[in-house]
Amino acid sequence: MKAEKPDISVVVPFYNEEESIERLWVKLRASLQELGRSYEVIFIDDGSSDNTREIMRNLAVQDKNLRAILFRANFGQSAAMAAGFEASRGKVVIAMDGDLQNDPRDIGRIVEQLERGYDVVSGWRKNRQDKMISRKIPSKIANRIICSVTDVTLHDTGCSLKAFRGDLLRRVSLYGEFHRFIPALLRMEGAQIAEMPVRHHARQFGTSKYNLSRTFRVIMDLTTIRLLMQHLHNPLGFFGKFALATGCAGCIAFLHACVHFMHNSADVGTFNISVTMTILLWASSFMFMSLGLIGKMIVDTGERRSFSIDVTL
């Protein structure tokens, strides 16, 4: 007999957060019990090198509402969240950080907002408790760029506290570094997105995994997400345009070579250049068409997950 699906799944990735994990679990469990709904919590250890893994394992053994996924190595936050989303069974899925900066008391409010007819509710750290130079300014720059490129208007795209409709979320393939762009990926599925202010606390333990270099990684990832938003379902159409352009240019170079050969056969150098350009352009056209076909096959067959799970409790 299948276990009944919980109303709420909470997904929390951890990486070297041994001081925070037990404190978060106590607060998280208390907040979820106050809601009076069935729930499950999924903790993911992203290959921590401290004691996070052992603490998580012990907590999962002690409480049946907590499930633990232990990665063999550090695969990144997107992979950790993807594993948690894939394992989740809840009608509503909550994502949050494990560093105690998100407040579990906001879960009830964000779920209530979701049930007013939205598919995604994203948290807004209106009074963000982070350093101005290293965190706030890069985050604001990245936020504006992300919103302009993805056409998803949010005050705070970097807030990890978000609520999703589980059936819609589990249709999305999350890979690479795309955890920042989940609302944009869901918008591609027709999701209705809302935003609401949430509490934010200063970091108490450990060190932040984010720095200024992340801003440049976001910019690079945006190129991919923009292409996905425009051409995900038809990559052949995107690469086909380049194939057509280079193919036509190759035909022009071929005609130039033929005309030059017939009227000025003594000028071997120009003829050779035209022939070389013809070959290069036609080869490029074939390459672009091949890339389009490969992309279409990838879209049709789906993405292979880029993580390896050691233990699921």
**Which pLDDT score, from 0 to 100, does residue 226 have?**
74
**Which pLDDT score, from 0 to 100, does residue 217 have?**
67
**In a domain? residue 79:** yes
**In a domain? residue 313:** no
Domain C-terminal end among 174, 197, 232 = 232
DSSP code string of 258-280: HHHHHH-TT-HHHHHHHHHHHHH
Confidence of residue 278 (pLDDT cuts 50, 70, 90): very high
**Which pLDDT score, from 0 to 100, does residue 307 have?**
60
**In a domain? residue 2:** no
**Which pLDDT score, from 0 to 100, does residue 306 have?**
52
122 and 180, same domain (yes or no): yes
83 and 197, same domain (yes or no): yes
Model pLDDT for residues 78-127, shown as the tens digit of each residue: 889 999 999 999 999 999 999 999 999 999 999 999 999 999 999 998 88
159 and 16, same domain (yes or no): yes
Q: Provide the number of structural domains found in the chain.
A: 2
CA dihedral 14→121→117→109, nearest 10 degrees, is 80
**In a domain? residue 287:** yes
157 and 29, same domain (yes or no): yes
201 and 264, same domain (yes or no): no
Domain C-terminal end among 232, 256, 272 = 232
Q: Would you say the pTM of this structure is higher than 0.85?
A: no
179 and 248, same domain (yes or no): no
Q: What is the rounded distance in angstroms from the CA atom of residue 153 to the CA atom of residue 226?
A: 15
190 and 266, same domain (yes or no): no
- Domain range enclosing 143: 8-232
State the chain's mean pLDDT as an integer. Answer: 85
184 and 87, same domain (yes or no): yes
Domain C-terminal end among 174, 202, 232 = 232
**In a domain? residue 1:** no
Paired tokens of 225: 């997400």
60 and 26, same domain (yes or no): yes
Q: Where are the alpha helices (DSSP H) in the chain?
A: 21-35, 52-62, 77-87, 107-114, 137-150, 166-169, 182-187, 213-231, 235-263, 268-301
What is the chain's length? 313
CATH value at residue 116: 3.90.550.10
257 and 194, same domain (yes or no): no
CB-based burial label for 215 (10 Å; 0-12, 13-18, 19+): middle
Model pLDDT for residues 119-153, shown as the tens digit of each residue: 999 999 888 876 766 566 666 777 777 777 777 88
73 and 87, same domain (yes or no): yes
- Quote the distance between the C-alpha of residue 277 and its chain's center: 41
Q: Is pLDDT at 1 greater than 50 in this prediction?
A: no
**In a domain? residue 278:** yes
**In a domain? residue 306:** no
**In a domain? residue 311:** no
**Which pLDDT score, from 0 to 100, does residue 24 have?**
95
158 and 228, same domain (yes or no): yes
